[in-house]
Structure formats: C-alpha cells, structure tokens
Amino acid sequence: MGPTRANLIDEDGCRVRMVHLDRVAEARSEAISDRELSRLALIYKLLGDPTRLKLAMALMKGEMCVCDLAALLGISESAVSHQIRRLKDTALVKGRRDGQILYYSLDDHHVLDLIQVGLDHVRE
C-alpha cells in the first residue's frame, strides 16, 4: 500500500498531506495494549519525579535502608518511606528484611537499564 494524498492546508502551511498507510498499519500492528501503555507511562511518571529518581539512582549500586537514603538525600525518613512505597507499588524497588532493618534495592536489572539508558542519552 502506498501513501494517500489529501489536498488540505494544515497549520504549517503544507498543501499536500500524505498518509503512508503501510507505515500506519505496521505501527498499529506493533502497538501495545492500553493496559501496558498505562503501566509504562506510570513507570516513567514515577521516575520523572526528581526525588524518586534520586532514590532509584542511589540504589543502582546496591541496597540501602530508609535511614541511609534519608541521610543521602537530606530529606526525612517519612518522605523516603512515602516515595519508596510508590516505587515498590510499580515493582521498581523491592525490600529485604534483615532483623528489624528493611533494605531496599532496585527490583531487577531492567530498572537499572531504564535509568542508565536515560543517563547515557542525557550525557551524549
């Protein structure tokens, strides 16, 4: 299928609009479900908050407890707990109990990859 044309003027002043039906069909066939799209958007939204991103980046090298994270970020333990809970709810962070101390770490290597790829892009 080739492109179709419509003689319309859009806001950019283009006189010919071309829709490449083959590209649209391919993109539509590869699109993810709305549920997956919403979950993915939520992950990026959560990591889009500077405090939560700092917490996730602090956990890139290994596990830390709430006290460690609060001292590192200069915020209250309550604030850390609140943000960690949001990250746990989306499986970005997980906890491990050792006696009375709960240590947090990134849930898996995919979370590390998300952060690292974004950081690599910013540094280019």
pTM for the structure as a whole: 0.80
Whole-number pLDDT of residue 122: 96
CA separation for the pair 91, 43 (Å, rounded): 9
Whole-number pLDDT of residue 1: 54
Q: Which amino acid is it at 57?
A: M
Ranges in the chain, pLDDT < 50: 7-8
Entry field: residues in the chain = 124
Residue 69's contacts (CB-CB under 8 Å, 6 or more residues apart) are 55, 58, 80, 84, 104
In the chain, what are the domains? 35-123 (1.10.10.10)
Beta strand ranges found along 56-92 (DSSP E): 64-65
Enter the tokens of residue 78: 């309550």
> How many C-alpha atoms does 63 have within 13 Å on its Cβ side?
14
CA separation for the pair 56, 59 (Å, rounded): 5
